[in-house]
């Protein structure tokens, strides 16, 4: 286990012994087998707490999320971005590890479907995610909340190529 994995499991609010203990207690209440949690996840919580407790230096949860955002894009994601850049009027944004397309997407529905993107009716935007994902809570997140939690990066579209007369 490395420091980023440990911090992403516990996500302490402040860089102190008290902040670490509070994050550990919160994670224990959420994942303890007696409270309906999973034994394997609880083992990870305990390992993360032991790791951070013995670390001489560590970051806060926000610093860990910022470090996670610096992961390079996969080839598949980069290919999808390059294809989407050519669509006029489509705004692209990466939030966490999700690719979101919004704007004037109505005329590009078939192209978006062919790329494996899905439409979110709540957010009125198209999204793509490589890994399997299962929502763990019933909480609805808007774009601003997702941006603050996972970080975001807006992708500039290449300027439209016009035909010279």
What pLDDT is recorded for position 119? 94
Amino acid 164: pLDDT:
46
Residue boundaries of the structural domains of the chain = 3-68, 75-155
**DSSP sequence for 32-76:** -GGGT--HHHHHHHHHHHHHHHH-SS---HHHHHHHHHTSPPPHH
Q: Is the pTM of this model over 0.85?
A: no
Q: What is the mean pLDDT of each run of 10 residues along the chain (165 residues)?
A: 69 76 88 86 87 67 53 80 90 87 92 93 90 74 79 72 45
Q: What pLDDT, on a 0 to 100 scale, did the predictor assign at position 102?
A: 92
Which one-letter DSSP state was computed for residue 86?
T
Angle at 158 between CA 99 and CA 106, to 5 degrees: 55
**Predicted local confidence at residue 162, as pLDDT:** 43
Q: Interior CA angle at 84 toward 79 and 88, to 5°?
A: 155
Architecture of domain 3-68: Orthogonal Bundle (1.10)
Identify the pLDDT of residue 113: 94
């Amino acid at each position: 286990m490395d420091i980023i994995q440990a911090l992403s499991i516990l996500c302490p609010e402040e860089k102190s012994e008290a902040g670490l203990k509070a994050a550990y207690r919160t994670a224990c209440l959420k994942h303890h087998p007696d409270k309906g949690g999973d034994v394997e996840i609880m083992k990870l919580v305990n390992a993360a707490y032991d790791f951070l407790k013995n670390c001489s230096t560590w970051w806060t949860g926000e610093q860990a999320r910022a470090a996670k955002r610096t992961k390079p894009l996969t080839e598949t994601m980069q290919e999808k971005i390059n294809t989407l850049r050519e669509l006029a009027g489509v705004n692209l944004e990466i939030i966490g590890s999700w690719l979101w397309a919004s704007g004037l997407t109505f005329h590009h529905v078939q192209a978006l479907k062919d790329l494996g993107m899905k439409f979110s009716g709540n957010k009125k935007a198209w999204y793509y995610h490589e890994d399997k994902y299962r929502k763990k809570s019933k909480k609805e997140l808007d774009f601003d909340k997702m941006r603050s939690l996972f970080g975001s990066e807006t992708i500039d579209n290449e300027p439209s190529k016009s035909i010279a007369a």
